[in-house]
Amino acid sequence: MAKALIIVDVQNDFCEGGSLAVAGGAALATEISEMLAETTDFDFVAATQDWHVEPGSHFSETPNFRTSWPVHCVAGSKGAALHRNLDTEDIDAYFRKGKYDAGYSGFDGLLAPEDEVAVGEREAHESAAENNESPVSLDDWLRDNDIDDVVIVGIATEHCVRATALDAVNAGYNTTVLRDFVAGIDEDAIEETLEELEDAGVEVK
């Protein structure tokens, strides 16, 4: 059985100085990099990115911070790039999500073209369509690589980490969330989310 680490949305806009910053985001990027340097537990590593083009009501000038949010992670922008503290050397694949919707779950993401800058310094293009290829989803990629176990880290615990973990366990993967390697917005909501994940069959450790 192969195991994959899924790094959720460790992007500039979700770290200090970004348009939707989560406290501790930059430090988390460093901690994930240090973990990867010290472990051989993972056969594959994937990273997800919010990659918004026209996400509709997900963006709002008067956000409620539940279903609508300030503009963030616009496709190709500096805010959508992975944070500089995250070492991308061991990342095997990048999945971009939310072009035209909220895209909370990494399982909504599609594999980014290999010839693009990994952290996203320019507009995404539809290379798969241009080559008459079917877009590759995160689920496709995991199954193609015979991955049974997924370990999830990243930002934000109550939103994209939660959605990704729930989709992973519902898709049949043995799913773990590392509580020391996620960052969220509200401490009470974080604990409620971790309890919800455990109830759904996710191992939280």
Query: Choosing from 13, 97, 108, 167, which is the catalytic residue?
Result: 97
Catalytic-residue membership of 205: no
Asked about 99 being catalytic, the answer comes back as no
Burial of 70 (0-12, 13-18, 19+ CB in 10 A): middle
Sheet holding 2-8, edge to edge: 110-111, 93-97, 44-50, 2-8, 147-155, 174-183, 203-204
Is residue 101 annotated as a catalytic residue, yes or no? no
The residue from 50, 108, 160, 167 that is catalytic is: 160
Q: Of these residues, 9, 50, 139, 167, which one is catalytic?
A: 9
Residue numbers annotated as active site: 9, 97, 160
